[in-house]
Structure 1
Amino acid sequence: MKTFLIFRSDRVGDFLLTLILIKSLKRSFKNCRIIIVASEKNYELIKNNKYVDKVVLFPKKKISEIRKFINLINNEKITDIITADRKNRSIFLSFFIKSEIKIFVCVKFIHFLLFKILGKINVFDNEYKVTKIQTIQNILNYYNILLIEQDKNIYNKNDFDKFNKSLPLDESFLVLHFDEKWFVNKYIKKYKQINVNKENLNSFIESLVKKTMMNIVITTGNTNLDLLEELKKEFKFIAGNLFEKSINNNKVFLIDRQNYFQVCSIVCKCKIFVGCHGSLTHLAGCFNAKIVDIIEENKADFYQKYTDHLKNYNKVFRDQMISMSKKIIECV
């Protein structure tokens, strides 16, 4: 029986892409075990995933912790290692873990050449030339596995039901994910400032309702944003972290300070998803929701490698809120 050790010690969105690989392996090796080496950022999501048999945290820098980790993993009788996170630290640790097969995913060409000279199995993941789906297929090629469309359906709508706080909605609603990524001072300072404020945000929400004739759910994540505190004053408090207001004959719900799983339970049921690029973009794509993905224009080629497989996908470049919101309205 095969036991795969897959390193994914980075972010949530990266793990969602690796789930496509994991599902392909599970389909092809019926009784295989999947063990994931996770980060603190994605540990909880991975722990709750039905395709993963075991998850362990990447060890801290202390030698004693690293030694303990290696001993723990070697007791699992690993047959295959895949360094899907492409990190040097994961590749380094792999040399100390017993395994019949080791597949090193390299982001630097010099590492790719080095492993090729050493006769190691390696996959070159060029972020600006190779899509993530192609990288997954390149890994699967070693096992003579062909990626199929079904492998990309990594979640079912009921997978997050236990985290769902029921909303009085049918499935024809739009999710506007409004988080810290809308503000460069809380995200990536080199990115273009959107300059969103209460007035232009309210105008945008009203335009979304008018264009789609749908109910709107504003999800927010865990970051405290002053603008959301201002916005909440215009909503009626319902219960817990749920607020509501009416626009024409439609409802707009604002759900404040949710955990990630609660946001997922809503996104997986929406018809349209609008938000800055992140893991929720990929989650919405699992259910063929229409996606309006807000990205940085000079990183468009980079993001395309991550989103090329998504259906019903639309991109809008970060811009001043008034201009950007008009482009989003055109897409929805």
Structure 2
Amino acid sequence: MKICIARVDRMGDMILTLPIIKGLKLIDKTIIIHVIASEKNYKIVKHFNYIDKIFLLKNSNKNFFSILNKIRKENYDYFYNFSPNWSGFFLGILSKSKIKSTLILLSRYNKNFSKITRRVLGDIFYNFKVVIDRFTAFQNNENFHQTKVMFSLIKRNSFEIKEDVKIDYFFPSKYKIVAKRDFCILHLTSRWINKYYDEENFIDLIIKLQQKKILLYLTSDESTKFKFKKIFDKYSIINNDQFSNEKLSDEIIIFDNLDFDKWIELIKVSKYVIAPECGILHITSLCENHLTVIYDADYFPEMMMHEYAPWKKPYNKLIFNDEELNQKIVSFVQ
């Protein structure tokens, strides 16, 4: 049996798809699984041993048709599109798979006419489709977690797949990171800064966390410097070339936009990770540390908690409009 899974979106979405891939292999290890990945999430799947072949879909028409030509030659038994964008949807339509299935997530804003074209095409060209009305599901207290709804689509094809699949950290270790004591990672991303929370609030959070006598390290992404000018002026910065895994400093350091391999190993050996809702929460879900996630108060925070919670990992959930946010974050660190 040969299966293709299209997941051509973000890093976190791919991590939430890994239980599906592993669950299929646990049914029968001879099942061949191919994955179509994006440039953003390829770094995740390239190390996941339950995948037999990966197709990297880039943002170009030439690459799209190249991938299409390759998957049409595979003659899959099943094709699953879990991606919300058009590229995965059309690859499924144009593949020569015997059974085609797609997941369609309706908009949180306008559900009546949401994805109407995709729903019609899904009826015509797909054998199975699962349409998720997230707003109604939330109101009815139904489980619409991303991984859960992907399992439901797989089960439509009579696969007896188990849902109690946990994914442990699987990336190769390249660095031996040593710190003098337990440390906490604060992930700097532009999502910290909003109408409820500014850079001064963040500086206050750092001061309060220092009283816990735990080491603090800040990691950044490409959006950080434009939002945290005071932070970047105040603390030492270590970039990729300066990174040393021999021994970490006991001073507050900004690890500025590290390579993925360095970043995830730093996360793995930390005791605490604190960040707004973004990809780091799903990386942390693979580790044994403690996680706090702060959700955007103006972007359906309760729904996001239901839909994108880390799989099989307890975590601390907060919302940016909480007037006691910093105090609650600090109380999480023991």
State the TM-score, normalized to the length of structure 1.
Answer: 0.79
| Distance in 2 of aligned mates of 1:132 and 1:7 | 14
1:194 aligns to what?
197
Deviation (angstroms), 1:152: 2.4
1:206 aligns to what?
207
Match of 1:161 among 163, 173, 182: 173
Q: Determine if contact 1:236/1:244 at 8 Å carries over to the other structure.
A: no
SS at match of 1:95: helix
Change (3 A) 1:319 1:75: same
Deviation (angstroms), 1:134: 2.0
1:301 aligns to what?
302
Q: Determine if contact 1:140/1:147 at 8 Å carries over to the other structure.
A: no
Deviates more, 1:227-236 or 1:46-55: 227-236
Amino acid at match of 2:209: L
Amino acid at match of 1:19: L
Deviates more, 1:306-315 or 1:271-280: 306-315
SS at match of 1:221: coil
Amino acid at match of 1:315: K
| Distance in 2 of aligned mates of 1:152 and 1:45 | 16
Change (3 A) 1:13 1:308: closer
2:325 aligns to what?
324
CA RMSD of aligned residues (A): 3.2
| Distance in 2 of aligned mates of 1:325 and 1:259 | 29
| Distance in 1 of aligned mates of 2:226 and 2:89 | 42
Q: Determine if contact 1:241/1:256 at 8 Å carries over to the other structure.
A: no
Q: Determine if contact 1:106/1:112 at 8 Å carries over to the other structure.
A: yes
2:159 aligns to what?
144
2:110 aligns to what?
none
Q: Determine if contact 1:292/1:315 at 8 Å carries over to the other structure.
A: yes
Match of 1:78 among 76, 79, 104: 76
SS at match of 1:152: coil
Q: Determine if contact 1:221/1:259 at 8 Å carries over to the other structure.
A: no
1:23 aligns to what?
22
| Distance in 1 of aligned mates of 2:173 and 2:249 | 25
Number of corresponding residues: 310
Deviates more, 1:233-242 or 1:75-84: 233-242
Deviation (angstroms), 1:10: 0.9
| Distance in 2 of aligned mates of 1:105 and 1:48 | 25
Amino acid at match of 2:320: R
| Distance in 2 of aligned mates of 1:276 and 1:106 | 26
Residues 166-193 of structure 1 deviation map (CA, whole Å, 9 limit, x = unaligned): 23255x3221111232235xxxxxxx35
Deviation (angstroms), 1:6: 1.0
Q: Determine if contact 1:112/1:123 at 8 Å carries over to the other structure.
A: no
Q: Determine if contact 1:36/1:52 at 8 Å carries over to the other structure.
A: yes
Q: Determine if contact 2:218/2:253 at 8 Å carries over to the other structure.
A: yes
Change (3 A) 1:285 1:195: same
Match of 1:124 among 131, 140, 163: 131
1:175 aligns to what?
185
Deviation (angstroms), 1:224: 5.1
Amino acid at match of 1:279: G
Deviation (angstroms), 1:261: 2.8
| Distance in 2 of aligned mates of 1:115 and 1:226 | 42
Deviation (angstroms), 1:307: 0.8
Deviation (angstroms), 1:118: 7.2
1:189 aligns to what?
none
Q: Which runs of 5+ in 1 are unaligned?
A: 185-191
Superposed, which structure 2 residues align to 1:6-17 within 5 Å? Answer: 6-17=5-16
Runs of 4+ aligned structure 1 residues displaced above 6 Å come to 242-245
- Bigger share in helix: 1
